[in-house]
Every structure is written in C-alpha cells, then in structure tokens.
Amino acid sequence: AAEVRTVLTSRAFVEQAKLGAVVEEIGRSVEIVWLDDLRAGIGLKDKLLGLLRKTTPRVARKPDDAAVILFTSGSEGTPKGVVLTHRNILANAAQAASRIDFHSGDKVFNVLPIFHSFGMTAGTVLPLISGVPVYFYPSPLHYRIVPELVYASNATIIFGTDTFLSGYARTAHPYDFRSVRYCFAGAEPVKAATRMTYMEKFGLRILEGYGVTEAAPVISINTPMYNRSGSVGKIMPGME
C-alpha cells in the first residue's frame, strides 16, 4: 500500500474531473486538504513565517532523498509511478538551463500540469533556479484564454505540446505572442503544420525536445543556435 496520509486537491479540480465520490470515499481514511481554503486563510504573518523558514526547513532533506513520485503517460502500457530524487530534478533542470540563455527580463508562462514531469522540471523548477518569474495557469485546454494571458503577462518563454500549441494557434491573435522569444515543445512529436503555423502567424520557431519521466525528464532539446526542424535536438550535457 502507498500509505498515503494526506491528499492536497482543489474543489475546481475535483468537480471538473467528477471525482466527488472518490474523494468522499478516501476521505474516510486520509486527510483531505483543500487548497482553495488554505489560500483564503494565508495572511501576512504566514507569509513572513514562510520567508523565515526557508533557511531552517522543518525536515532536512538530502540530495538523494525521494522528492516526488510522477506517473508516466502510459503510452507503452499502464502508467508507472517513477520516484525522482531532489538530485534527479535539480540536475536535469541545470542541464536544461545550460542550453537556454535566460536573462533578467524573461518571464515563463506555464500551463503544463506539475504532476507531469515536463511541467514540473521544465515549467516550474527550471525557471525558479534560474531566477525567472513563472506565471501558472491551471488548464492548458483553455485555448482562447491562454493566448490572452500570455499577452497580458508579457511572457517571453512558453512550454507546450503539439496538441496544446495547435489549439492556441487556432484562436490566438498574431499579436498575442508578440513578447514570446522561445516556444518549447515536448511530450509528443510536433507536426509540420504546427511548425509552419507558428512561423507564419507568430514568427516563432518551435524548439522541440524529447524526454521520459525516468530521466526527470529532458533528454534532448533544440536551441536557437542548434535547431533542426523535425528532430528533438542535441542530447543534454552529461548524458551518454
């Protein structure tokens, strides 16, 4: 058994996924923490305590301690839970950072779920360790809303899959992505039609990469200097 004692979730997610009955059932044996309620109760005192505690964590962690359990996509069968350590995630983020020329004016807009390795490492940890602000949006499926928010936030870097990116292209105004300088894609092959649309409509090259959850996940990536359309780019430094 997984011995799960606490589940963090939100009412919006449970409602959208129609998991009310499931949550009610597991709530008899585990603690359900509603993030919606926590956010409403966070005050200035809590924020100050959080700032102070960052230098004195309640529980010390070692680099090789388990950090997360992320599930594979299930493309080769039943999804598997993959245990990734703090070292796994931070090392992969550092490898990716060595290929991306972040600067002080960058802003990342991340719509990818952080329960997926792409959204966790590339969309969350990578910009954080690089000192780059991150804007989160809870659903990549809101094809009309996401381009408008990218425009409003002046985001310079976005991540997505071919499915999501093609969805945004259908509804976005050419000016919505005016501030974007890098568009990275993974999780599935990028179609030639999607590449062409982004180049012709937005003036953006899609930089495709490849990864697997077990590798935390980035294995290879195209960059502006070394970009070959239809490929997944060069392998990460330190990998063989």
pLDDT of residue 46: 87
pLDDT of residue 59: 77
Residues in the chain predicted with pLDDT less than 50, given as ranges, are 1
pLDDT tens-digit readout, 128-137: 999 999 999 9
pLDDT of residue 219: 96
pLDDT of residue 50: 82
CA dist 121 and 111 (Å) reads 13
Q: For 57-71, what is the HEC assignment?
A: CCCCCCCCCEEEEEE
Cα–Cα nearest to 161, from 138, 190, 121:
190
pLDDT of residue 230: 87
Residues with Cβ within 8 Å of 167's Cβ and at least 6 positions away in sequence, in order, are 141, 143
CA dist 162 and 40 (Å) reads 36
> What is the topology classification, in CATH, of domain 66-235?
Rossmann fold (3.40.50)
Cα–Cα nearest to 117, from 218, 185, 4, 8:
218
In contact, 173 and 191? CB cutoff 8 Å: no
pLDDT of residue 1: 47
Domain boundaries, the chain: 6-53, 66-235
CA dist 212 and 234 (Å) reads 15
CA dist 224 and 98 (Å) reads 13
CA dist 195 and 165 (Å) reads 9
Asked whether the whole model's pTM tops 0.95, one would answer no
> How do 6-9 and 31-34 pair as beta strands?
parallel
pLDDT of residue 55: 75
| Residue 175: Cβ-neighbour burial (10 angstroms; 0-12, 13-18, 19+) | exposed
The two tokens of residue 25 are: 């059932």
pLDDT tens-digit readout, 47-104: 888 888 777 777 778 999 999 999 887 777 788 899 999 999 999 999 999 998 888 8
The DSSP bridge partners found for residue 109 are 135, 158
